[in-house]
Amino acid sequence: MKKSTTLLVLILVFLILSLAGSAWCDPRAQIIEIQCGRQREHNSTLFVPNFVSTMEAISDQMRVSGFGKAVTGAGPDGNYGLAQCYGDLSLLDCVLCYAQARTVLPKCFPNNSGRVFLDGCFMRSANYSFFEEYEGDENDKEVCGNVTRKAGSRFRSTAETAIAQAVSDARHRRGYARTELPVPGSANASVYVLTDCWRSLNASSCSACLSSAAKSVRRCLPKSEGRALFTGCFIRYSDVDFLNDEPRSTGSREILLVLLVSVLSGVFLLVMGVLIGVYVYKHRVIQKKRRGSNDVEKLAKILHDSSLNFKYSTIVKATGYFDEGYKLGQGGFGTVYKGVLADGREIAVKRLFYNNRHRAADFYNEVNIISRMEHKNLVRLLGCCCSGPESLLVYEYLPNKSLDRFIFDASRGKALTWDKRYEVILGTAEGLVYLHENTNIRIIHRDIKASNILLDTKLRAKIADFGLARSFEEDKSHISTAIAGTLGYMAPEYLAHGQLTEKADVYSFGVLMLEVVSGRQNNRGKATEYSDSLVIQAWKLFQRGAVEELFDPNLLLHNYHDSNVKAEVSRAVHIGLLCTQESSTLRPLMSKVLEMLRRKNEELPAPANPPFVDEGTMSFNDTSENQSYHFRYPESVASVSHSSFYPR
């Protein structure tokens, strides 16, 4: 990368020098200081093209006016850029200085912001709008020249006078001023001063910035040179004449050179973007390979030290060589088959699609988490196999398959009376309490939904599919992770910020409760007869005191006049709304939810509103405050999980 940069700069300089001769004065392209931000870029896939696009937009403005600012993208991946040449540079000199600055700023990568001070221009990039900032930044400083100290008080007093005069003049010239004052009693000795403000500042901000910068740069005296590098302005004094002649009108030859420099520097930045992209890609590939190899080693040790390992040939025979007649269901990560072992045991085999959507880390994660847990409401992992051409997980076989086959089917739903549904809700809650609170480490499932709740022969619930589950230590408040799960079941704060806590499972459980009560899916499409999501329907009916309109007719088929059943179902809706409140801090812990389910006479608190969803844009909207989160579901999230019957 360094060799490519050097070669391009040499080519650029050679071509310009060959054509230009003495067409300019001095672009003053020497670098004074680079200041890189401390925060790393959020998403390099977006950061690099946004940065390149911003620099290109600024380039177009720089060769016309010597100033440019641009914005590309929004949010943490947005890029705000500003560049400006000091007032005594011609347009050609300006483009040369800017070409140098934009080759330097990428050195701040992978940090997402940076500033470059050159003696002829300034450039800054960040992921927020800084255009009106002018002082008070921790990076504001003076840089004193490592040159001779001027003896006597005459140079100091002359320099102070020159600085004050330049600052005063600058207030009437949009921040730009230049001053030359001879030092009394010293032959051929003078003080030269230049000031300039960024053109994005108003007059008062510019004046305030220059006042602070002047105070700062005076600290360099009696050294013979000093610079003030401030957020919104620049001041330089020196005993050497560094000032160019006032810019004159640009001729056709200069215009040609400006275009040449712009094109060459544009090519350079494009190459820099490609090089950064290659670097990021290689870095990620290396990290993935390292993680993958570590996971394989861990998994191999687990299998070697336990009785979990199945021979590939054993599973293939048990499933009739994965015959279609044995197929139980298919999800986003694989297909599930029924199998019968040689000893007569029935098993369910999850055959994983081993591609970029299910890496070794996910396979290891599921084996590692579920193999250590044992609870009556968690599906039991019998073993696994990773020695064949694909990865296989072997579970206990549950003949009634998954909950969604019952509650979303008008005919099968009749088999699930309210008592049975209540047992399913209670069993699921007990399983989640065990995951969240009764293990050595906290485990968040991340994908609680009807298709991941399996039913045994007595229609009792068992939580399945731990491929997305995450664990973290007690001393952590949350973990930050890539968003994954199923639309309609993911908590709003997890979608918006990627911060995962147990409250994400609580939200999913609340949605599940409302589905069990109503027999309707929350993540159904717009083509249905209902305009609102199930959660919003339940909230509106609860507000009207008409929650019975939400009930699945199958619930009251045999007990239509039973007031106790209606009260229990209404209470379940109430608890479901407590679990799906928009604010995660208001949602109860699963242990409290379990307590509310068991203590049927305990008074419940009033629920706050759930997140309101505009399904046309899939954006969360708080209609009570007339505010919007403006969060769109990524396509990758939408396709993460659509499993059925058995876990993915």
Task: Give the tokens for residue 156.
Answer: 């100091």
The answer to whether the beta carbons of residues 401 and 342 sit under 8 Å apart is: no
Q: How far apart are CA 609 and CA 58, in angstroms?
A: 45
3-state secondary structure 213-269: HHHHHHHHCCECEEEEECCCEEEEEECCCCCCCCCCCCCHHHHHHHHHHHHHHHHHH
Q: Is 447 a catalytic residue?
A: yes
Which residues share a beta bridge with 417?
none
Task: Give the tokens for residue 129.
Answer: 């709008």
Among the listed residues 106, 127, 101, the one whose alpha carbon sits nearest the alpha carbon of residue 116: 101
Task: Give the tokens for residue 196.
Answer: 């300039």
The answer to whether the beta carbons of residues 89 and 247 sit under 8 Å apart is: yes
Q: How far apart are CA 39 and CA 43, in angstroms?
A: 12
The answer to whether the beta carbons of residues 66 and 94 sit under 8 Å apart is: yes
Which residues share a beta bridge with 454?
402, 462
Residue whose structure tokens are 């379990």:
594
The answer to whether the beta carbons of residues 523 and 485 sit under 8 Å apart is: no
For every residue of 76-136, DSSP letters joined together read GG-EEEEEEE-TT--HHHHHHHHHHHHHHGGGGTTBS-EEEEESSEEEEEESS--TT--S-
**Annotated catalytic residue: which of 140, 239, 404, 447?**
447
Q: What is the DSSP letter of 468?
A: T
Which residues share a beta bridge with 272?
none
Among the listed residues 585, 504, 584, 580, the one whose alpha carbon sits nearest the alpha carbon of residue 542: 580
> Nearest 5 degrees, angle CA 544-CA 548-CA 549?
80
Q: What is the DSSP letter of 141?
A: E
The answer to whether the beta carbons of residues 436 and 446 sit under 8 Å apart is: no
Backbone φ, ψ for residue 555 (5° rounding): -65, -35
Residue whose structure tokens are 């050097």:
6
Bridging pattern class, strands 190-197 and 121-126: unpaired
> Nearest 5 degrees, angle CA 317-CA 322-CA 323?
105
What does the radius of gyration of the chain's CA atoms come to, in whole angstroms? 34
The answer to whether the beta carbons of residues 99 and 261 sit under 8 Å apart is: yes
Q: How far apart are CA 551 and CA 533, in angstroms?
A: 15
Q: Is 350 annotated as a binding residue?
A: yes
For every residue of 299-347, DSSP letters joined together read HHHHHHTSS-B--HHHHHHHTTTT-GGGEEEE-SSEEEEEEE-TTS-EE
Task: Give the tokens for residue 58.
Answer: 């600024």
Q: How far apart are CA 629 and CA 495, in angstroms?
A: 10
What are the residue numbers of the active site?
447
Residues annotated in a binding site: 350
The annotation places the binding site for ATP at 350
